[in-house]
């Protein structure tokens, strides 16, 4: 067979959010390199005879370097295997798919990218936080909270942003993030929402103001990934969020039974 690699977005964690095309590629794969997926249901989709590599990354814990992952993709593709690189969320949202594609292009290996549902979208849906909302938020900003603190950003510009901020990898530095925004002009009453384990039965949403978080921090230490949302859109569906408690409970009970 000719060399070919499918870079597939697995979605935010719930296997039911894997796209039909992603499912098709995954269930026909001969070699799979997969990330730290959030539901064991994905493993049940792997073909029994496939060669499986876990190459997941978590904060401070990498099972394989990016260079090693690139080398594995090239190696098995050149052997004529049907290779799937299964990545959490969407491959192009902090997924390093661009680096893997560069390695494939350098080796003259054809490829495709199968989009996935990003945790940004799933968190908004789970927490009833619209990413955009007419007359409230016409812009969406996606930010890596870890590198924003470490490497710095234009905090003056960020603090004046008129829209919804979606911040990944920021729960460990959330207090400092809020302090920086307030120091640079954002009002302390600005709503903030934190959605943990988006799309999973264990998901939960916490809402507050950046002033409260800046002063008191956030006492939760979630085991799963959390997405932070900052902007007036956080409060748009507050009434619906409170009223839909039974729906959320039903959804989680259904997930446990599935």
Q: Which residues are catalytic?
A: 35, 57, 169
Whole-angstrom distance, CA of residue 160 vs CA of residue 174: 18
Distance between alpha carbon 86 and the CA centroid of its chain, in Å? 13
Q: Is 108 exposed, middle or buried (0-12, 13-18, 19+ CB in 10 A)?
A: exposed
Which helix (H) or strand (E) element contains residue 125?
helix 119-126
Residue with tokens 């893997």: 100
Dihedral angle computed from the Cα positions of residues 7, 11, 13 and 19, in that order, rounded to the nearest 10 degrees: -90
Tokens of 136: 């409230």
């Amino acid at each position: 067979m000719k060399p070919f690699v499918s870079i597939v977005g697995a979605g935010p964690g719930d296997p039911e959010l894997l796209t039909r095309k992603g499912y098709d590629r995954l269930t026909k794969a001969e070699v799979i390199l997969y990330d730290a997926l959030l539901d064991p249901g994905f493993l049940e989709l792997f073909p029994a005879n496939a060669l499986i590599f876990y190459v997941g990354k978590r904060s401070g814990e990498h099972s394989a370097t990016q260079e090693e992952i690139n080398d594995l993709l090239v190696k098995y593709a050149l052997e004529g295997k049907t290779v799937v690189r299964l990545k959490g969320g969407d491959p192009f949202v902090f997924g390093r798919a661009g680096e893997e594609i560069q390695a494939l292009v350098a080796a003259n290996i054809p490829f495709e990218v199968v989009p996935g549902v990003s945790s940004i979208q799933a968190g908004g849906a789970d927490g009833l936080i619209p990413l955009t909302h007419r007359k409230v938020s016409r812009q969406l900003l996606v930010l890596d909270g870890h590198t924003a603190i470490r490497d710095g950003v234009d905090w003056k510009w960020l603090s004046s942003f008129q829209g919804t901020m979606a911040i990944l990898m920021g729960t460990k530095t959330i207090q400092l993030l809020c302090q920086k925004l307030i120091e640079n002009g954002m009002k302390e009453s600005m709503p903030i929402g934190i959605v943990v384990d988006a799309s999973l039965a264990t998901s939960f949403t916490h809402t507050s103001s950046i002033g409260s978080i800046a002063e008191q921090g956030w006492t939760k230490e979630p085991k799963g990934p959390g997405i932070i949302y900052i902007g007036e859109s956080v409060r748009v569906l507050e009434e619906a969020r409170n009223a839909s408690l039974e729906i959320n409970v039903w959804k989680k009970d259904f997930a446990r039974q599935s």
